Structure 1
Amino acid sequence: MSGKIGINYGREGEGLPSPYESIQIMKSMKVGQIKLNDSNPEILTLLSGTRIHVAVTVPNDDIVRIGSNETYAKQWVQNSFIPHYPNTLIRFVLVGNGVLNSGLDGDRTMLYDSLLPAMRGIKNSLNAHGIRNVKVTTTLAMDVLQTSFPPSNGTFRSGISGTMMPRMLKFLNGTKSVLFLDVYPYFAWSANPANIRLDFALLRGNLTQTDPGSGLVYTNLLDQMLDSVTFAIEKLGFRNIRLAISGTGWPTAGDIDQIGANIYNAATYNRNLIRKMTLKPLPGTPKSPGVIVPTFISSLYDESRKIGPETERHWGMLHANGTPVYEIDLTGSRNMSDYKPLPPADNNVPYKGKVWCEVAPWVNEVSLPSALSSVCSIDNQTCAALVPGGPCYEPVSVVWHASYAFSSYWAKYRSQGAICSFNGLARETTADPSKFSIIPIKDDNKTEHADFFTHLNLTQSIYT
């Protein structure tokens, strides 16, 4: 397995460089491995003849069909793999992404049941073509664990520990494959900054923790997270299964109340990660010293079309136009002192002021009525103040009404995990939207403000 640093090449963004340009950029960055979220034929063709190792992904939507009959697995290999191999150095086939993530237990029985047959079918088809050096596996998130701290207490969730995981580990062990994991210390730290030191999460190496169960000494959170999975695997009777990091990194920006998402921390984390993963001899982890851990950093670009919290759109080492967000050397040969100073980290402590949710200024108003109707239909209180004659009915603007509805819903359900996004239509703000009677908005006619008094019938119909 390659010890060179890899990058996740996601393409969920507006105005990104073309695949050809992107591959030239990655070659100039000396990227050793690329992970794709699919098996895009154009990209795989463009990678032909390069020395870059590639991981391709079978999307979740294809798993049930492929797992239902080996004929479909053979078709996938024949159509998506064979035309590119071996000129394109495909080394991993990742069947699915996060299929076993928490919150899905019982909701995706067919997908669960199809995952391992799909993996077997693709592996059997590759073997039939005489291809035995390509690893077939899947990608899991850290929430497959029920317990992760200290690492020696690592155990899989009860819903999968006695069923799915033993069967999958048996397959990986029998095929000498590896288990891919999304491992993001940012999420663990930002969820518990009072008990996890930021330097420990940023891999600075200036702090230590001793696992009381194993006696192993840890200098960073990433190693703890990896070893917690290794301990969980061993508890199911498997001792030789290697791990790979399918995604790790740190966001450069986020919502107002998302702690620690800034350029300083992102550059620090990724630089320290690269230094750790390219050291010679390889350090591995305290539980698995000297072992190569193939590592893919998330991600190449900021991706503006990703849904979820604002951090989801800011993991890129490059802006959407291909320019660097910060300096980075993927070879690990550059001294830390050679980098230019970074902008200061200004949000490493929780924001304590008031935050509202409002329509984002870049949103086209034609997308708002359906979102407004959807939010207002959830319960009869979210938009009660917006009915004709209600205290917040005026100004009669679909933009104002949507901002009120988004903020009302978010305030009520935020503690249950709701986010201020609404499929990219909203953003967090420290300015109380109720203090503004006219809200700037982008529209097709490039008008400065949106005036919806002429659409009174439309706004009234949303609540009736």
Structure 2
Amino acid sequence: MSTVAIFLIFLLLLSRSKASSNIGVNYGQLGNNLPSPHRSIELLTTMKAGRVKIYDANPEILRLLSNTKLKVSIMIPNNEISGIAANQSIADEWVRNNVLPYYPNTMIRYLLMGNEVLSYNSEQGHQMWRDLVPAMRSIERSLRAQNIRDIKIGTPLAMDVLQSTFPPSSSAFRSDIRDSVMVPMLKFLDQTKSFFFIDVYPYFPWSMNSYNISLEFALFRGNSSRTRDPGSGLVYTNLLDQMLDSLIFAMAKLGYPDINLVISETGWPNSGDREELGANTINAATYNRNLIQRMTTKPPIGTPARPGVAIPTFIFSLFDENQKPGPGTERHWGLLHPDGTPIYDIDLTGKQPMKDFAALPASNNNKPFKGKMLGVAAREVEETDLSENCT
């Protein structure tokens, strides 16, 4: 290779190393009124996102991302897990079809096996549980066969992998998955120096238990309402740290105290049905702005159990998606309207001072609705029972 070619490659790598932000955004497409992929990626770039996570291996999106500095996470659909686990040639084919045509021009960094697989409590779900780690191993072998070593394999899980979460020091993984799934998964993540990917939403436990968990605590404004873990002595000023540390303690109990976390989804709904407590623009803006400032601080803040450790974070989501099923909040997690305009001002770099953001409309649904409540996220509340967190 000539000196000129080496120099050009160096310049390309240098330019890409200066990503605008360490904050990522989840780019979902469950809407019939969303901008084109080309326009969507333009918007991500304009917003100075540093990462993007997509929920499949969409060829058009992956090609378009080759022209950006965005670090990319691809998701392998749940229905492909068992085939990949059962047959190495299927895993090899998946990598040939969905990674090799784009890598390294598209900066693929994470391949995520399925989505919240351990939340599917059915016979089909149980088969996915058994196949999850073998499928992760198969994809890892496929990458190594292609001499690709800078793409990490993981799987995004929900907080319902934990049997208990409060106080964090008493947390533990569910007994039905602890030995059969979590132990081999943690061993794989440790061996491959990968990450534990977690979808973590303080909105859900707060909204279903707002009498015992203060809104200030859920929105990172809890300096006046601290909680202390009686087991560890650690003090918490926000709900997200409590939830993350519950995972850290659960992993340590299985012998894996050092696996780093990635927040694969987090956010706050900007609207919803009348009964859905706290789903409004001011809370969404407050949560995401405070989240970004916390996760972009240098040196990193970390959590009380792991101070100073950076946590890559993906906000959910880029757009409001009008075809998502379920209660109203499901369609209102976006940073942007479908026309590409911001729902509220946001700075993914974390550099803009809070006082410089435009004023937001007052909320009118931060108090419980006096009527029949919808069953919003009952699963999430069961999985994150923080009722003892009196603030």
TM score, norm. by length of structure 2 = 0.89
User: Structure 1: any 5+ residue segments left out of the alignment?
Assistant: 356-409, 419-464
Structure 1 position 329 matched with structure 2 position 372: no
Q: Secondary structure at the match of 2:138?
A: helix
- What is the aligned partner in structure 2 of residue 290 from structure 1? 308
Post-superposition offset of 1:248: 0.3
Q: Distance in 1 between matches of 2:103 and 2:208?
A: 42
Q: Distance in 2 between matches of 1:87 and 1:106?
A: 40
Q: Secondary structure at the match of 1:97?
A: coil
Post-superposition offset of 1:280: 1.1
Which of 276, 281, 306 matches 2:324? Answer: 306
Structure 1 131/338 Cα, relative in aligned 2: closer, same or farther at 3 Å? same
- What is the aligned partner in structure 1 of residue 193 from structure 2? 176
Q: Distance in 2 between matches of 1:213 and 1:155?
A: 14
Post-superposition offset of 1:22: 0.6
Q: Distance in 2 between matches of 1:227 and 1:208?
A: 15
Post-superposition offset of 1:417: 6.4
- What is the aligned partner in structure 1 of residue 29 from structure 2? 11
Post-superposition offset of 1:353: 3.8
Q: Secondary structure at the match of 1:200?
A: helix
Please tell me whether the aligned partners of residues 173 and 250 of structure 2 are also in contact (alpha carbons under 8 angstroms). Answer: yes
Post-superposition offset of 1:113: 1.5
Q: Distance in 1 between matches of 2:293 and 2:52?
A: 19
CA RMSD of aligned residues (A): 1.8
More contact order relative to length (CA 8 Å, sep ≥ 6): 2
Q: Which amino acid aligns with 2:325?
A: I
Structure 1 416/324 Cα, relative in aligned 2: closer, same or farther at 3 Å? closer
- What is the aligned partner in structure 2 of residue 44 from structure 1? 62
Structure 1 32/415 Cα, relative in aligned 2: closer, same or farther at 3 Å? closer
Please tell me whether the aligned partners of residues 105 and 159 of structure 1 are also in contact (alpha carbons under 8 angstroms). Answer: no
User: Structure 2: any 5+ residue segments left out of the alignment?
Assistant: 1-16, 380-391
Q: Which amino acid aligns with 2:253?
A: K
TM score, norm. by length of structure 1 = 0.75
- What is the aligned partner in structure 2 of residue 150 from structure 1? 167
Please tell me whether the aligned partners of residues 14 and 320 of structure 1 are also in contact (alpha carbons under 8 angstroms). Answer: no
Q: Which amino acid aligns with 2:255?
A: G
- What is the aligned partner in structure 1 of residue 136 from structure 2? 119
Cα offsets for 1:102-143 (capped at 9, x unmatched):
x51655232112111111110001011111111001010001
Which of 73, 79, 82 matches 2:91? Answer: 73
Larger radius of gyration: 1
Please tell me whether the aligned partners of residues 84 and 91 of structure 2 are also in contact (alpha carbons under 8 angstroms). Answer: yes
- What is the aligned partner in structure 2 of residue 34 from structure 1? 52
- What is the aligned partner in structure 2 of residue 262 from structure 1? 280
Q: Secondary structure at the match of 2:95?
A: helix
Q: Distance in 2 between matches of 1:353 and 1:121?
A: 51
Structure 1 231/416 Cα, relative in aligned 2: closer, same or farther at 3 Å? closer
- What is the aligned partner in structure 1 of residue 205 from structure 2? 188
Please tell me whether the aligned partners of residues 278 and 365 of structure 2 are also in contact (alpha carbons under 8 angstroms). Answer: yes
Q: Which amino acid aligns with 2:152?
A: K
Structure 1 105/224 Cα, relative in aligned 2: closer, same or farther at 3 Å? farther
Q: Secondary structure at the match of 2:255?
A: coil
Q: Secondary structure at the match of 1:24?
A: helix
